[in-house]
A and B are shown apart, each in its own frame.
Chain A
């Protein structure tokens, strides 16, 4: 099994190498990077490219590690016992399987995505150490050991909101998705908008990278924002000349709301443009 990128996803050589190392050695791959660089997409694309089922576990601040394994629904069992239902006798009827259990049970090898692991409590990764290492866990209620039939290919994404514990990190491969350079960006845009006019793309990328260079932006526009913006430009049928506005009066790129998501940033940007115009 090797991953070589896919039709909708441009993977750099570093990234494919890290993915393949994780697949070969059957270890989790931890992915970090700026928001919007395709961390979550990666798991979907790998699953798609290798033709494997994908199990997704989106982590929230209230998520507990146990929820990924299983949950015991004691309340409904108690209720059922009052009604004298037959299924009460088997505690297994009240064990709700979690994402990892489903993946461990899968007939074929599978891909598992644990998305935004840093959103959860700081002890969350520590609670999953044994599960990720041995790919097995114990169900206390039924005294049953759940073991993975095939070790799933595991992707974990993090946005760096919290630091992850060392013991956890030691068990993973790590890849930091860098912000794509211009060439990779052209490839990425090509994949998403095959018919895009060459000069519109060039102008748009120029504006985009210039915008990223502005110091002090709270949130730099990322790849996914660029793609949204291009979609809008195409929909509005804006000519490439409108983007090359450096010497024109209206220097704010059209539809910039798709790129700058923060009113302070828009404000800063407009102020910079205003200053630039005064200097002229």
Chain B
């Protein structure tokens, strides 16, 4: 029977695999849990779901599947939506709450069955019927200490069933570009070199040295291999980039751990004579771009991250910047940068299809000599391939 459950999870787009499902069946055969749905919930989650960001999705799928199986009497009666609509919220004091009678489980079910049979209309705020905001043990948003909740939000945290609570709601994310994927893509940009402290035995060197010494041991050590590629990262920040902040953060943290030589600077919309390292102090701690041009050698790879969406004046006109009065247009600065560091690409978080419709994107695209890539896995891989040439 659990095949259906498994397929239901699969259909809910949860990353479950056959192997994990077999483990779950094995666990059931070994009687890891007794006959309790709560325990089964925990067990199936531990076996099938390996990431807390999927817990919420799993809770929903589990709830959907086991809705009919919950063995609650009278559950085949559909409860109309509008009964449950949030309408009234009663705020009871603790004393009042304590006064409410605590039903036992059996009695709760019993009463529920009776109520379902009796009740025909939307109900709100009272203390007997199913509905919202009242003190009846049925419905939601209410304050009965031991109630059964039908949909809605848990506000007083005392409903008996767990998975409808959706405790892991805010952990769910639909990232397509996880940091792991980004790192794998960034790995294309590798250039191994041996530098630094010699702490690895150079076997070939030792053999050759020992042979030359007529058998007297001559140890040779060499430094470990490192990724020696050097990267300058220029990040557009603020304004229209706010929509893409998460993907940029991910890219940034992936770059951080992948490249040993990574320098990052921020700019706004387009590069002019100043960039900055710390957004909180962008107006006081500005760094003249001229200094950077002289500081980093031309073996650095230059990566811009920005949506290139701005006013055309910001690229073409002196004084077009929205930050300050710039004496030279952005295009000049951009050209200066790409001249100094010829290995340059521009990563754009905007979808590639929309590029032709934005004037400034095509302008930057041309200024970069066509080396603009979308900030997707594929785009990243293409960009890295170009940079490593």
Other-chain residue from B19, B26, B39, B179 in contact with A17 (beta carbon distance below 8 A): B39
Q: List the one stretch of B27-35, B64-72, B85-93, B130-138 in contact with chain A.
A: B27-35
Given the interface pairs A13-B42, A170-B19, A176-B55, the reply to whether A25 lies near B50 with Cβ below 8 Å is no
Contacts of B47 in A (CB 8 A): 21, 173
Contacts of A81 in B (CB 8 A): 217
Tell whether, in the assembled complex, residue A78 and residue B219 are in contact, meaning their CB atoms are under 8 Å apart: yes
How many Å from the CB of B155 to the closest CB on chain A?
Answer: 15
Contacts of A74 in B (CB 8 A): 201, 203
> Is A257 in contact with chain B by the CB < 8 A criterion?
no
Secondary structure dominating the interface of B: helix
Residues B272-328 near A (CB distance < 8 A) = none
Other-chain residue from A20, A75, A172 in contact with B201 (beta carbon distance below 8 A): A75
| Bound: A74/B201 CA distance, A | 8
How many Å from the CB of B62 to the closest CB on chain A?
Answer: 14
Tell whether, in the assembled complex, residue A173 and residue B219 are in contact, meaning their CB atoms are under 8 Å apart: no
> Is A166 in contact with chain B by the CB < 8 A criterion?
yes
Contacts of B42 in A (CB 8 A): 13-14, 17-18
Contacts of B52 in A (CB 8 A): 32, 176
> Number of A interface residues, CB 8 Å?
32
Residues A165-200 near B (CB distance < 8 A) = 165-166, 169-170, 172-176, 178
Tell whether, in the assembled complex, residue A75 and residue B180 are in contact, meaning their CB atoms are under 8 Å apart: no
> Is A85 in contact with chain B by the CB < 8 A criterion?
no
Contacts of B203 in A (CB 8 A): 74
> Is A163 in contact with chain B by the CB < 8 A criterion?
yes
| Bound: A162/B43 CA distance, A | 25
Tell whether, in the assembled complex, residue B15 and residue A18 are in contact, meaning their CB atoms are under 8 Å apart: no
Other-chain residue from A21, A122, A162 in contact with B46 (beta carbon distance below 8 A): A21
Residues B132-171 near A (CB distance < 8 A) = 167-168
> Is B57 in contact with chain A by the CB < 8 A criterion?
no
| Bound: A174/B20 CA distance, A | 11
Tell whether, in the assembled complex, residue B20 and residue A122 are in contact, meaning their CB atoms are under 8 Å apart: no
Residues A137-187 near B (CB distance < 8 A) = 162-166, 169-170, 172-176, 178
Contacts of B49 in A (CB 8 A): 174
Given the interface pairs A24-B30, A25-B23, A163-B178, the reply to whether A169 lies near B51 with Cβ below 8 Å is yes
How many Å from the CB of B214 to the closest CB on chain A?
Answer: 13
Residues B167-204 near A (CB distance < 8 A) = 167-168, 178-180, 183, 201, 203
| Bound: A165/B181 CA distance, A | 10
| Bound: A78/B180 CA distance, A | 40
Contacts of B206 in A (CB 8 A): 78
Contacts of A25 in B (CB 8 A): 23, 26-27, 30, 32
How many Å from the CB of A15 to the closest CB on chain B?
Answer: 9
> Number of B interface residues, CB 8 Å?
34
Tell whether, in the assembled complex, residue A82 and residue B39 are in contact, meaning their CB atoms are under 8 Å apart: no
Tell whether, in the assembled complex, residue B51 and residue A82 are in contact, meaning their CB atoms are under 8 Å apart: no
Tell whether, in the assembled complex, residue A122 and residue B183 are in contact, meaning their CB atoms are under 8 Å apart: yes
> Is B216 in contact with chain A by the CB < 8 A criterion?
yes
How many Å from the CB of A28 to the closest CB on chain B?
Answer: 11
How many Å from the CB of A234 to the closest CB on chain B?
Answer: 29
Other-chain residue from A13, A24, A122 in contact with B32 (beta carbon distance below 8 A): A24
How many Å from the CB of A73 to the closest CB on chain B?
Answer: 10
How many Å from the CB of A85 to the closest CB on chain B?
Answer: 13
How many Å from the CB of A141 to the closest CB on chain B?
Answer: 13
| Bound: A163/B17 CA distance, A | 18
> Is A27 in contact with chain B by the CB < 8 A criterion?
yes
The 8 A CB mask of B52-88 against A (1 = contact, 0 = none) is: 1001000000000000000000000000000000000
> Is A30 in contact with chain B by the CB < 8 A criterion?
yes
> Is A79 in contact with chain B by the CB < 8 A criterion?
yes
CB closest residue in chain B, given A22? B46
How many Å from the CB of B217 to the closest CB on chain A?
Answer: 5
The 8 A CB mask of A1-30 against B (1 = contact, 0 = none) is: 000000000000110011011001101011
Tell whether, in the assembled complex, residue A20 and residue B50 are in contact, meaning their CB atoms are under 8 Å apart: no
| Bound: A24/B31 CA distance, A | 9
The 8 A CB mask of B191-232 against A (1 = contact, 0 = none) is: 000000000010100100000000011010000000000000
Contacts of A32 in B (CB 8 A): 52
Given the interface pairs A14-B42, A17-B39, A81-B217, the reply to whether A178 lies near B167 with Cβ below 8 Å is yes
CB closest residue in chain A, given B18? A170
Tell whether, in the assembled complex, residue B219 and residue A18 are in contact, meaning their CB atoms are under 8 Å apart: no
CB closest residue in chain B, given A163? B180
Q: A17-B43, A25-B32 given. 14 additional CB < 8 A pairs?
A: A17-B33, A17-B39, A17-B42, A17-B46, A18-B46, A74-B201, A75-B201, A75-B219, A162-B179, A163-B180, A170-B19, A174-B46, A176-B55, A176-B168
20 pairs of residues in contact across A and B, judged by CB atoms under 8 Å? A14-B42, A17-B32, A21-B43, A24-B32, A25-B27, A25-B30, A27-B23, A30-B50, A74-B201, A75-B219, A81-B217, A166-B50, A169-B50, A170-B19, A170-B50, A172-B50, A174-B49, A174-B50, A174-B51, A175-B46
Residue numbers of A with Cβ under 8 A of B are: 13-14, 17-18, 20-21, 24-25, 27, 29-30, 32, 74-75, 78-79, 81-82, 122, 162-166, 169-170, 172-176, 178
